[in-house]
Amino acid sequence: MLRRAMFTLAPSLLPGTGRANDLLGTGWTHAEYPGLRPARFTPMGEQGLRIEGEGTGSFVWRRVSGVAQCLTWRWRVDAGPPPTDLTRRFGDDRAISVAVGFAGFPTGAGAWQRAQHAIAQGAAGNHTLPRSVLIYSWGGTGREPVRFYSPWLGQLGKVHPLRHARSETGRWFEERVDLDADWRTAFGGEPPHLQEIAIGTDVDDTSSRVDAQIDRIRVTAC
């Protein structure tokens, strides 16, 4: 459970600072990684966000609830990092990620993963951390596996790259993912209830500039 996980399963996460004042009243909470300059998240559109920064890394999260259904959104990248290997720590830059946190552990989660999660929860205070995560990313080389375990979250997180770093910039892409089916494919068993959604960026390893947008984020029936 290390600091650059795109979700809140990291014991070294710090709460957002005054830089996130623009988010007040939107339902999003800003969180920073210690030692990294945070990105700027600006509300826009239908519960949407614009993400800007250079050599930065941080994310925002909000609570959701209910059973796993389909998640839809649209996103665009106007500036982002070059292709990086998303399977590798300290080199997995991406313009933007959508992370969906669940209330239960994967069926195969062992004692070590659960113990690490308990340590992370102790550091997180009153923010109840998700116990498993599906991560949809815009970034990477395009040669990564269709799904792979997060290099930061291990068996508690599966990454699914949807757009690689060379995807067309400056235009909107519509996305629709089946959370129920993706959970079963990633972890096996019955999906736990939804707990949070997080939107993040991580471009510190390449010191890149990021300018990305996401909106129309909805949990809908499949």
Residue at 195 is within a domain? yes
Residue at 3 is within a domain? no
The per-residue pLDDT for 47 is 78
Residue at 7 is within a domain? no
Measured CA to CA, the distance from residue 189 to residue 19 in angstroms comes to 40
CATH of the domain at 112: 2.60.120
pLDDT digits (tens, 9 = 90+) for 1-19: 333 443 434 423 333 333 4
Measured CA to CA, the distance from residue 19 to residue 215 in angstroms comes to 21
Measured CA to CA, the distance from residue 103 to residue 198 in angstroms comes to 14
Tally the residues of the chain: 222
Residue at 123 is within a domain? yes
Tell me the chain's radius of gyration from C-alpha atoms: 16
Q: Residue 44 belongs to what domain range?
A: 14-220
User: Residue 26 pLDDT > 90, yes or no?
Assistant: no
What average pLDDT does the structure give for the chain?
88
**Sheet hosting strand 48-54, strand order edge to edge:** 40-44, 48-54, 209-220, 70-79, 173-178
Indicate the number of domains in the chain: 1
Residue at 129 is within a domain? yes
pLDDT digits (tens, 9 = 90+) for 70-110: 999 999 999 999 999 999 988 899 999 999 999 999 988 88
Residue at 87 is within a domain? yes
Average pLDDT (170-175) is 98
Residue at 74 is within a domain? yes
Answer for the pair 188, 45: CB distance below 8 angstroms, yes or no.
no
Measured CA to CA, the distance from residue 137 to residue 56 in angstroms comes to 16
Of 5-9, 35-39, 159-163, 174-178, least confident by mean pLDDT is 5-9
The per-residue pLDDT for 46 is 67
Residue at 145 is within a domain? yes
